[in-house]
Each structure stands twice: as structure tokens, then as C-alpha cells.
Amino acid sequence: MTAAAALGDQTIIREDDFIQSVADALQFVSHVHPADFVRHLAAAHAREESAAAKDAMAQILVNSRLALIGRRPMCQDTGVAAVFLKVGVNVRFATSRGIEELVNEAVRLAYLDEANPLRATMVGDPLFERRNTGDNAPAMVHVDLVAGDRVEAIVAAKGGGSENKARFAQLNPSAPVEDWIVETLATLGAGWCPPGLIGIGVGGSADKAMLLAKEALFEPIDMLDLIRRGPATKLEEMRLRLYERINALGLGAQGLGGLTTVLDVKIRTFPTHAASKPVALMPQCAANRYVRFALDGSGPATFAVPSADDWPEIVRERTADAARPVDLDRLTRDEVRSWRAGDRLLLSGRLLTGRDAAHTRMAEMIARGESLPVALDGRVIYYVGPVKAVGAEAVGPAGPTTATRMDGFTDLLLERTGLLAMIGKAERGPGAVEAIRRHGAASLIAVGGAAILVAQAVRASRVLAFADLGMEAIHEFEVEEMPVTVAVDSTGASIHVIGPDLWRKT
């Protein structure tokens, strides 16, 4: 950028420049992974010894390159927009509107972009109506007034699965923070889509610690360098210990069991009350989307797109060779009962979709004695909220959402509808596993964060019911050779128990 447009000693930031910069940043992060993340994931993939985890990482890397080349979202959950601004005290915004309003306009522009529409995920009223706002506004906006004459911004888009696993504790001042972090991490399951990052905030107050943990996620990923050169500070020693202890849990990519659960652990601290030790833990999934820019009054920010040549050349073993073909249009309970946890399947035929809001509505209809708008008998349901299609796509990126959130509906639907199987990501809780066993059903997984790869198997898509729910409507997908893995089989065996048990080192 050229010299600042100054009025007296003030930098003037034009409204349009600010809005365009934030909107362009949101579009950019939707399909461009940071280079340090790709480098660390590629290294973890290269050293992984668990075949299932290695394949999951390969899918995420292949998907990342497809997103970059195709300029389409790396994950169907295109996230909640989060904007962190450091505004110099010598900056004046040439606008009569507030900063949040400007950011929200940028969110609308970015998420409703015609060439690369992003998924509108925000619901307006979190308590009662939970109606989708339709444009992904509002954003989470944090503004600090700092010394200086420019605006420094971090624009991020945080996925719900990893945000749901944020945790906080007020520890005793004498309590060991590291034990709390490792013990807490061990309870999170795979809904946050490991391998990823862990941000830790220690100190301040409850709210400050959460913010520190999130801001820690925007520090460069340098664990490989830290391992190579050795720790130089107490904080680096702690990061290294946590990295090793968390990976020793054996959770692995997608919770399938393996060597790498975290690529890096970042820690931020702040002074605190003598009686307190607030600790916040903030996981970041593989859709690690953020970018920094600065505005000095000379115009909007620009974002350099990296070359796809910088991505590792990962040749995935063809899943078709090891997978069983399944005809969804002729699927029987006996066939479902023959599947075993860990089996790879290639699904072809018609698949229903439905996630949180559709499940709530179906449960309410069943409770009122009404018939459902779509018969689930003999069908398989995919927990997904896809991105809108563009061009020749049948559907936009369409990776799985966390199956665990649907656990509370599982027994009801299996019991009352004749549903045969479900597809999502991450582990099922004990109640859902027992329901699956009792009904001779199965829970399948696709790789979370490989949304473009999954969508490539979808040949056609139409909305069947609950159109008002937007991306949460019930769709019917026509799929061809969609690769999935049996996570929970009809005996109640679960790969999310078997895998980590094999790889745990503690």
C-alpha cells in the first residue's frame, strides 16, 4: 500500500475500503489455508502410522488444494465471522455508521457472493426461534484502541464443531494447568475435527481468558521449528510438553486413533487476581481460516493467493479397492447388520439429509402424533448442511456435521421410523451406541473437513422438506460411490473407542 491519506495528523479510512477489505478477507479465508498449517499437516501426514488417520489427513490435504484451485469453501461450515481490530488512536473512519454495522455489511457481501457463496449458518435468536439470518450476519467484533495511525485486522471464520468444544475453568492458584488441559482434551472427542490447534488462555478474568485462548490461535504455527531448535522459555517448554502429552492420548485424526491430534499448542497469558487462575481452552479444527491485514488509508487490503504447487502432492490410495459397494436404494437391515466397525463402504443411490433443526422438528412432529414429511423407513440419513451449488455443481461443499449432537434423537428415530443408518462425523455417545445395537442399525462417518471431496460424490440434490430451515432443510442427495467408514456397527463396536485404545501411550 502507498502512503497514508492523512488529514492533519489523522489517517482517514474510507468506509468502502474497510468493508471491501473485510469482505475480501472472508472470501479469501474460505478457500485458502495458511501455509504454516499446510506445512504442519503435511508433516503429520508423512509421519502418521495409523492407516485410518493417515487417510483422513490425506483427504483434508487433497481437499485443501481443491478448495484453493476451485476457489470454493474448504469446509461446508464456512463459520462465524470474527473480526479483531486494533485501531490506531490517530485513525478516523470516514463513516457515520458504527464499526459493527460496517463489518456486518462486509459479512453479507462475502457470504452472498455469487461466484463463491458461503453458507449462512447464523441463527438470529439463540434461545427460541433459532431462525437462520440468511446472510451469516452478525459477526463477532472485537475492537481495541491502540497507539498508532493504522488499522490492523484479523479476520477469521470459526467453525461450530471446534467452537462447541471450547472449555473454561477457574482453577485454584496452586492447581496444575497442564493436567487440566490434557484431562479436558481427553474428554472432547472428535467433534472438533482433529488434527488441529489448541489455543490456551491463562489469566485475566473469565471473559479475558476466553479471548486470550482464541487470539492465541492466530499466532504462527511453529511447532516443527520449536522441536528442531528446542524450547528457549518456560512457555515454550510448556507448549512442547502439552503437544507431547495431548498427542500421547492417541485420539488421532478424526478421533480414529493415531499419532497426531494437535499440530501445535499456543498459549497466551495475562495478569490475574491473586485468588484466581482462569484457564480457557479453544480448539481449532482443520478449517483453520484467518488472515491479517493492515489499512493505512491508501485503499483496500489485497490478499496474495499462494501457488497450489506449494501444497504437497498426496496420492491417495483408491478407496474403491478396499471398499464394499452399497446400493442405498436396495439396502436391507440384514446388509447393515453385516457391516463391521472400520469397514469402508462406497455408497450409491438416494440419501436423505438432515441435521440439528430438522431433527428437533421431526421429534416434535412425532411427539404430536403427526406423520413426517419424508418417510425414513429403509433409508440412510446424512447429517449435513451443504453450501449452495454454483455452476455445474450438484451441491456445494457438503462434509459431515458432528453426529454426537444427534444422539438424543437416535433411539426415537430408529424406533419409530425404520431408519437404517446415519452418516456424520465423530463418536456417538453410549445412549446412541446402545440404540444402534438394539435396532441393528449403524453409524457411518465421512471425513470432517473434506467437504469438497464428499460433494464430488453427489450427482443431484433437491430439497424434500423444511425448506425454511435453509441449509438445515431435508434434502435428497443422489450419490455415486460416496466413501464412508462404519463407525458404530450393529454389535455396538465403535472405531472411536477401538482406534484411540490402540494408539494411546499413557
Ligand X SMILES: O=C(O)C[C@H](O)C(=O)O
- Least distance between ligand X and beta carbon 159 (Å): 4
Radius of gyration of the chain (CA): 23
- Least distance between ligand X and beta carbon 405 (Å): 7
- In the complex with ligand X, the residue whose CB is nearer, 284 or 348, is 284
Under 8 Å between Cβ of 492 and 434: yes
Q: Count interface residues toward ligand X (CB under 6 A).
A: 10
**Rounded to a whole number, what is the largest CA-CA distance in the chain?**
79
Q: Which residue is nearest to ligand X (CB)?
A: 161
Spell out, one character per residue from 443 to 472, where the chain touches ligand X: x when CB under 6 A holds, - when not: -----x------------------------
User: How is 111-147 classified by DSSP, letter by letter?
Assistant: HT-SSSPPPP--BS-TTTT--B-SS-PPPEEEEEEES
- In the complex with ligand X, the residue whose CB is nearer, 17 or 407, is 407
- Least distance between ligand X and beta carbon 400 (Å): 7
- Any idea what DSSP says for residue 343? -
- Any idea what DSSP says for residue 330? G
- In the complex with ligand X, the residue whose CB is nearer, 191 or 483, is 191
Q: Of 239, 279, 280, 278, which is closest to residue 262 (Cα–Cα)?
A: 239
CA atoms of 448 and 497, how far apart (whole Å): 18
CA atoms of 119 and 396, how far apart (whole Å): 9
Residues in CB range of 402: below 8 A, 6 or more apart:
161, 164, 191, 383, 424, 425, 426, 448
Tell me the window of 22-30, 154-162, 300-308, 358-366 that interacts with ligand X (CB under 6 A).
154-162
- In the complex with ligand X, the residue whose CB is nearer, 202 or 487, is 487
34, 88, 160, 257: residue in contact with ligand X (rule CB under 6 A): 160
- Least distance between ligand X and beta carbon 193 (Å): 6
CA atoms of 124 and 163, how far apart (whole Å): 18
CA atoms of 390 and 70, how far apart (whole Å): 11
Q: Which three cell numbers stand for residue 234?
A: 518456560
455 three-class SS: helix
- In the complex with ligand X, the residue whose CB is nearer, 336 or 398, is 398
- Number of Cβ within 10 Å of residue 6's Cβ equals 13
- In the complex with ligand X, the residue whose CB is nearer, 75 or 326, is 75
- In the complex with ligand X, the residue whose CB is nearer, 77 or 343, is 77
- Least distance between ligand X and beta carbon 89 (Å): 38
> Is beta strand 324-327 parallel, antiparallel or unpaired with respect to 91-94?
unpaired
250, 300, 385, 499: residue in contact with ligand X (rule CB under 6 A): 385
> How many CA atoms lie within 13 Å of 502's alpha carbon, on the beta-carbon side?
17
- In the complex with ligand X, the residue whose CB is nearer, 77 or 489, is 77
Tell me the window of 49-57, 107-115, 155-163, 495-503 that interacts with ligand X (CB under 6 A).
155-163
24, 77, 105, 407: residue in contact with ligand X (rule CB under 6 A): 77
- Least distance between ligand X and beta carbon 476 (Å): 18
Q: Which three cell numbers stand for residue 275?
A: 485468588
CA atoms of 395 and 405, how far apart (whole Å): 23
Q: Of 103, 114, 83, which is closest to residue 19 (Cα–Cα)?
A: 103
73 part of the interface to ligand X, by CB under 6 A: no
Spell out, one character per residue from 393 to 432, where the chain touches ligand X: x when CB under 6 A holds, - when not: --------xx------------------------------
Tell me the window of 153-161, 198-206, 210-218, 460-468 that interacts with ligand X (CB under 6 A).
153-161
11, 50, 59, 76: residue in contact with ligand X (rule CB under 6 A): 76
98 three-class SS: coil
Tell me the window of 9-17, 64-72, 141-149, 157-165 that interacts with ligand X (CB under 6 A).
157-165
Element (H, E) at 326: strand 324-327
H helices, E strands: number in the chain: 16, 18
Binders of ligand X in range 216-255 (CB under 6 A): none
Spell out, one character per residue from 269 to 308, where the chain touches ligand X: x when CB under 6 A holds, - when not: ----------------------------------------
- Least distance between ligand X and beta carbon 194 (Å): 12
- Least distance between ligand X and beta carbon 446 (Å): 12
- In the complex with ligand X, the residue whose CB is nearer, 191 or 300, is 191
Q: What is the 3-state secondary structure (H, E, C) of 178-197?
A: HHHHHHHHHHCCCCCCCCEE
Burial of 130 (0-12, 13-18, 19+ CB in 10 A): middle
159 part of the interface to ligand X, by CB under 6 A: yes
Tell me the window of 138-146, 159-167, 206-214, 247-255 that interacts with ligand X (CB under 6 A).
159-167
Under 8 Å between Cβ of 441 and 490: yes
Tell me the window of 158-166, 325-333, 344-352, 476-484 that interacts with ligand X (CB under 6 A).
158-166
- In the complex with ligand X, the residue whose CB is nearer, 77 or 296, is 77
- In the complex with ligand X, the residue whose CB is nearer, 76 or 133, is 76
Q: Is 429 left (phi over 0), alpha (psi -120 to 50) or beta?
A: beta
Binders of ligand X in range 166-195 (CB under 6 A): 191
Cell 440468511 belongs to residue: 134
Residues of the shown chain interacting with ligand X in the complex, contacts defined by CB under 6 A: 76-77, 159-161, 191, 385, 401-402, 448
